[in-house]
Amino acid sequence: PRIAVIVVAAGSGERLGAGGPKAFVGIDEHTILRHALTRVFAAPEAQVVIVAPRGREGDALTEALEAAGDRRDLVSVVTGGDTRQASVASGLAALWADVEIVLVHDAARALTPPAVFERVIATIDSGRDGALPVLPVVDTIKRVTDTEVLHAVDRDELAAAQTPQGFRRDILDAAYRGADREFTDDAALVGAAGHGVFVVAGDPRSFKITTPADLERARSLVATSPL
């Protein structure tokens, strides 16, 4: 395929406190990883590389094959690294030769609708180097020290970054080869390499499951809406 999705799922999930890797925590009868993958496989056809925690590669493959339906041949699983960036690098190393567009997606954003994938792909297809789904910031954000408020930051200049973040494959590969430090996300890494990243509309359902409260929110969402 022309498109690939790297689903990073190798995080430890310490802040969730479920006693094991976050990707395998259940939302309903299905795990966070399984929900993420169901939506990935409902998006346009792509190679899907799952980056799993060391020792859980087999479990990730089982989940992926169940979610893939007739796209089973497009699935691969690789072992993650100590940081998200290292995990993405593992995924990049597994891409097939014909892939031209790469989306990097957090498994923890398990309820991200397929339409977001379509918007990101369409943006790269229209000639952009990178595409980042964002949501407007609703809170008033202040710049602070440990003890003092310095000033408010203009909300119009702020957005909350989500995934999947999409890039031309050659640009993402080169940016990762040249990365000499840890970046907050792929858009920051590609931006530091000198490429423009275009903004597309994110979705509230793409929130990242991080804390127990986030897991509760995901549980009530899947209980009330199908996809």
Out of 3, 4, 5, 8, the residue judged to bind ligand C5P by CB under 6 A: 8
Residue 81: name the closest of 72, 73, 91 by CA: 91
For residue 145 the two structure tokens come to: 């020290």
Q: CB-wise, 49 or 74, nearer to ligand C5P?
A: 49
208 counts as binding ligand C5P under rule CB under 6 A: yes
Burial class (CB in 10 A: 0-12, 13-18, 19+), 152: exposed
Residue 184: name the closest of 161, 167, 207, 166 by CA: 161
Out of 210, 217, 219, 221, the residue judged to bind ligand C5P by CB under 6 A: 210
Out of 62, 83, 184, 211, the residue judged to bind ligand C5P by CB under 6 A: 83
Cα distance between residue 126 and residue 114, in whole Å: 19
Instruction: With contacts defined by CB under 6 A, name the span among 9-17, 38-46, 70-78, 172-180 that binds ligand C5P.
Output: 9-17
Q: CB-wise, 2 or 79, nearer to ligand C5P?
A: 79
Write down the H helix ranges in 16-113.
32-40, 57-68, 84-92
Q: How far is the CB of 181 from ligand C5P (least distance, A)?
A: 16
Q: How far is the CB of 148 from ligand C5P (least distance, A)?
A: 28
Q: CB-wise, 82 or 170, nearer to ligand C5P?
A: 82
Write each residue from 13 to 42 as x if it is in contact with ligand C5P (CB under 6 A), else as -, in one continuous string: ---------xx-------------------
Q: CB-wise, 6 or 74, nearer to ligand C5P?
A: 6
Residue carrying the six token digits 């891409």: 95
Burial class (CB in 10 A: 0-12, 13-18, 19+), 126: exposed
Q: Is the Cα dihedral 131, 180, 4, 126 positive or negative?
A: positive
84 counts as binding ligand C5P under rule CB under 6 A: yes
Q: Give me the residues that bind ligand C5P (CB under 6 A), please.
A: 8-11, 22-23, 51, 80-84, 87, 106-108, 208, 210
